[in-house]
Amino acid sequence: MKRLAATTLTGIAVLAFAAIAQAEPDGEAIYNQACMACHMTGAAGAPIKDDEAAWAPRLEQGMETLYDHAINGFQAMPPKGGQMNLSDEEVKAAVDFMLEPML
């Protein structure tokens, strides 16, 4: 009986972990953690989050270019905003969050 209970609990834990691992990244939380310091203030020339004029020429380059710059770095911006622990998908979610009002 103890073995069945342990197996059941292990199965539940595995399913819970799988559900969490497959969840969409939280772009807003990632932005607040990794991007806000520069993209809220314009530090080092970073375009401010809701500044459509600043983002327009960047958007003309296409989303894949924006994702590439965010993931690999561009000019003064370090790769992944200096948060190398972020996955590419998490960085893309943060970019999507920043651009939501303009898309």
* Per-residue pLDDT tens digits for 26-40: 999 999 999 999 999
Is 13 a member of any domain?
no
Q: Is residue 5 part of a domain?
A: no
**Predicted structure pTM score:** 0.76
Q: Domain for residue 17, yes or no?
A: no
For 101, residues 6+ apart whose C-beta sits below 8 A from its C-beta are: 50
DSSP notation for 35-55: IHHHHTTTGGGPPPTT-HHHH
Domain annotation covers residue 49:
yes
Within-domain flag for 20: no
Q: How many domains does the chain have?
A: 1
Residue 93, in any domain of the structure: yes
Please give the structure tokens belonging to residue 29.
Answer: 């939380």
pLDDT computed for residue 10 by the predictor: 56
Residue 12: inside a domain: no
- Give the Cα separation of 47 and 70 in Å (integer): 12
How far does the chain reach from its first CA to its final CA, in angstroms? Answer: 56
13 vs 97, more confident? 97
Residue 53 lies in a domain: yes
Position 101 confidence tier, pLDDT thresholds 50, 70, 90: confident
**Structural domain boundaries enclosing 45:** 25-102
Domain at 95, CATH number:
1.10.760.10
Give 49-97 pLDDT, tens digit per residue: 999 999 999 999 999 999 999 999 999 999 999 999 999 999 999 999 9
Mean pLDDT of the chain: 87
